[in-house]
Each structure stands twice: as structure tokens, then as C-alpha cells.
Amino acid sequence: MSVLVRGGSGRLCAAARRVIPCLWSGKCLSSGREPAENQVTPMLRHLVYKIKATGPITVAEYMKEVLTNPAKGYYVHRDMLGEKGDFITSPEISQIFGELLGIWFISEWMATGKNAAFQLVELGPGKGTLAGDILRVFSQLGSVLKNCDISIHMVEVSEKLSEIQALTLTEEKIPLERNAGSSVYMKGVTKSGIPISWYRDLHDVPKGYSFYLAHEFFDVLPVHKFQKTPQGWREVFIDIDPQVSDKLRFVLAPCVTPAEVFIQRDEIRDHVEVCPEAGVIIQELSQRIALTGGAALIADYGHDGTKTDTFRGFCGHKLHDVLTAPGTADLTADVDFSYLRRMAEGQVASLGPIKQQTFLKNMGIDVRLKVLLDKSDEPARQQLLQGYDMLMNPKKMGERFNFFALLPHQRLHGRSHPMNTCQSKPSVSPVAGFGELAWR
Ligand code: SAH
């Protein structure tokens, strides 16, 4: 496959950043590559007006506007996933990925006493491919789940992608209920008869025993960027280039900015990216899991508090200058799992990050591949093997992507959850994926 996954490293501007002056009007921080074409997109025009009116904006505000502005945001009106789009993700590469995640949720449901009901909540579901593969496993294991009341909850800001998700997942004979003004903006029934609802915000998803899933979701949340200077930490902002009209450039704030509180006191790096929105979401997930049980499985590319400049763009499977033609390319930054862990501390236990290769191996990817290969003819076999290589090869997605889980403390210490009335027996079975799958 000649496509580029977003986990690929694209250090577009690290060297230049060390010499930027601490003034709004300072020398331009090069974003690394000269734009192939200086396309004035509607988003660029919008940002130029905004900066002229109210001054330079943080990188976080830039990311938020470019990706999720309700009128012009990159995610809102387009389908960017797959070989014809800008990047490709694991569920789009191989059905095995989603199947193994489906088994993970069932394994956790069983290990915690087979609750009478659960919600599966997916954050940023893309085309709905991952949820589709998980739901197929739920149907195949119908005898195990037969007395369990399941519902599906999608947290999605993109109008376009929510329509694609509905097309992929729902039963077309049952019309969708739509209400753009409501926090539940769409409702339907899946092909296997499970109720499914769409929300823009996790806050609006009903609280209750839930399994949460976020695959390549945290990496698109807005990051603040900071550079260490002789005067202390200074935030990187985005301003208009005074030399070239309709061109953006990076500058450093002349003084301390509020987001600096997110930097650790003992930070040793000279450039950091912090994502307060990720912290808020992790805290919400942790509170929910501590209160009502369940688990969260987060998979993304990232690091454990070690990387510096990871902000980059992708367009047509190529690295793209983050400041060029905004709104036409995906923007992303590696997830800092050490920050996610800190945000969960005290409320729930966390596991990982562990490499995708290890997680999928522990989940039995080799056994599943063999079963599928035995059933397939030649072109399909090639596709399965290529998909396996893409997911598992350390040079491809195997080592760049990580799995991270949030679980109630009781889950790791063998006590039943107080809310879990159907608990059969206290359980201390290992958590699948993070150790070998213990299928009971
Ligand atoms: N999980 C999918 C898609 C990843 S792309 C996959 O792996 O294939 C990121 C997804 O997050 C898209 O569905 C995008 O529309 C959604 N998204 C981006 N920002 C969001 C936000 N702030 N709230 C909810 N969804 C968001």
C-alpha cells in the first residue's frame, strides 16, 4: 500500500523554532517547507480576518478552527479517510483490527461479571468501519451476549461523517430520526437491531455502564505549543506574515500566556505540546468509569512525555505544511500518554501505553489471520497479508501506534463494582491485550 498513515513522523519545523524571537512582530518561524501553491482557501481568508481583528491566535485555536469550525472545518463536510482521501487508519486497512477490539470489549464485559446492559460509546468514529466490525463480532457471539441490552453512542462533530456512519451501520428500512437542534442529533437502529444515537459532545451521552472507544481521536484535539526561551516558557502563536499577504507564520508570545499552567514544573524538554481538551475528556471518562463501571480503550500514535515538535499536516497521503491552504489538510499532533495518565490518576487505573503490535498479538491476531486465510481465495489472501503487515510491522503501524486503557480500580484488584448488580464472582483475570487473552 502506498498510502501514508498519520502516525508517520513529520518534523516540519523543529530546527527553525529554536531561533524565533520573542515578539509578535519577530522573525518568521518557518513551517519547514515552502508551500507548493499559495492557495487562498475560505478558511485562510477567515483566519486572516480574525487575526487582523483580534490579534494572533494560539496553535490550539488554529487547530480547532481549521478542523472543526462548523461552517468551514476540515472534518465537518468531507470524507478524508481511505486511499482516496488524506490518510488511512487501521480499521480501514483490515477487518481484523475491529474484530479484535470487539473481542476486547466482550472479554472485559465477561471479566467484570456480565452486566445486564452496556453502552458502547465511540469518540470520533470516522466512517463507522470500526464500529461495524465490532458489531459483527457482537452478532457472531450473540449466544454469549443474548441477554445483554446493548446500545451504541457515537460522538461525532462532522455532519458528513455522521451521514456515512449511518449509511454503514443502520438498517435502511428504519428511517433515521434527525433533530439538528438537539444534543442527540440523530437516532436509528443498527443492521443487527441495536439502538444507535449521535451526539456532538461526550457530555451529552447518557451516564451508565459503558465501554468507551477512541481510535485516532485524541491526536486531532487542539494542542498548545511552547518553546523554552532564556526568559522562560513562551507560547507559539500564529500571525499574518507582514511580508506576504495571505500567508501565515509562527511567532512567539512576548510574555507568559495562561496555558502555561499545563506545563509540568520539572519539564526538561525545550519544546512541548499540551492538549488541555484531551485532559478534560480523560477526566470525564474517568469520572464516568469510576461511578458506573466499564472501561475506555484509547488507541493512537503518541509518546510517553518524551517528544517535542509533532504538529503536522496530511493531504493526499503526503505531509503537508500546517500553515498552507488551511482547511484542505488534516492537522494532527502525537498524543502524550503520560499526560492522559496524569489526568486519570486518582479516579481510575490506567494500563499502557503498549505498542499496537504487542496488543494485537496478545489479542490473537495470528490465530484470526490464519482462520481468514484458510477461508479466502488468492486476491483476498494478499489483501489480508498486506493489512496484517501494515498493522503489525514495527516500521509501519506496529510500533508507532499505542493502546491505553482506563479501568475501575476494582477491576485490577478483584473486587466487584458496587453498581454492578449482576456480578457473578469477583474477578482477577488479566486485562486482554495488555496481557495474553484469557478467554473464559
Ligand atoms: N476513528 C476513526 C476516525 C479517525 S479521524 C478511524 O480510526 O478510522 C478523527 C475522527 O474524529 C473523525 O470522525 C472526526 O470527525 C472526529 N472528530 C474530530 N474532532 C472531534 C471533536 N472535537 N469531537 C468529536 N469528534 C471529532
pLDDT at 15 over 60: no
Contacts of 170 (CB under 8 A, 6+ apart): 176, 188, 189, 190, 191, 196
Nearest CA to ligand 1 atom 10: 124
100 located within any domain: yes
Residue 438: per-residue pLDDT: 59
**Weakest-pLDDT range from 42-46, 201-205, 423-427:** 423-427
CB atoms within 10 A of CB 438: 12
Average pLDDT, stretch 318-328?
Answer: 96
- Taking only the tens place, the pLDDT of each residue in 88-143 is 999 999 999 999 999 999 999 999 999 999 999 999 999 999 999 999 999 999 99
Q: What are phi and psi of 169, to 5 degrees?
A: -105, -25
Return the biggest CA–CA distance within the chain: 70
Q: Per the structure block, which three cell numbers stand in for 136?
A: 459483527
Task: Give the total number of structural domains in the chain.
Answer: 1
Alpha-carbon distance of 245 to 48, in angstroms, equals 9
**Would you state the pLDDT for residue 263?**
96
**Of 133, 220, 300, best ligand 1 pocket probe by most atoms within 8 Å of the beta carbon:** 220
Query: For residue 310, is it within any domain?
Result: no
Q: Give residue 383's domain range.
A: 95-217+275-300+335-411
Task: Write the residue with the smallest CA distance to atom 3 of ligand 1.
Answer: 126
Question: Nearest CA to 129 among 173, 176, 85?
Answer: 85
- Check pLDDT > 80 for residue 422: no
Per residue in 150-191, pLDDT (tens digit) is: 999 999 999 999 999 999 999 989 999 999 999 999 999 999
Distance from C-alpha of 35 to C-alpha of 32, rounded to nearest angstrom: 9
439 within domain boundaries: no
- Cα of 180 vs its chain's centroid, Å: 24
Residue 300, phi then psi, degrees to nearest 5: -165, 170
Judge contact between 100 and 91, C-beta under 8 A. no
Q: 39 vs 32, which has greater pLDDT?
A: 39
Angle between helix axes 378-392 and 365-375 (nearest 10 degrees) is 170
Q: How far is the CA of 63 from the centre of ligand 1 (A)?
A: 13
Q: Give distance in angstroms: CA of 32 to centre of ligand 1.
A: 27
DSSP string, 182-242: SSEEEEEEBTTS-EEEEESSGGGSPPSSEEEEEES-GGGS--EEEEEETTEEEEEEEEE-S
Domain membership of residue 1 (yes or no) is no
Q: Which atom of ligand 1 is nearest to the CA of 330?
A: 5
pLDDT bracket for residue 435 (50, 70, 90): confident
**For range 429-439, the mean pLDDT:** 80
- Hey, whose CA ends up nearest to atom 6 of ligand 1? 126
Give me 390's grid cell: 501494515
Residue nearest to atom 17 of ligand 1 (CA): 124
pLDDT of residue 379 exceeding 50: yes
pTM for the whole structure: 0.90
**CB within 8 Å of 394: residues ≥ 6 apart:** 355, 357
With CA atoms as reference, report the closest residue to 85 among 3, 169, 1, 160: 3
Any domain includes 22 = no
DSSP 124: S
Helix or strand run (H / E) with residue 104: helix 95-111
CATH number at residue 199: 3.40.50.150
- In this structure, is residue 352 part of a structural domain? yes
Task: Identify residue 90 by its one-letter amino acid code.
Answer: S
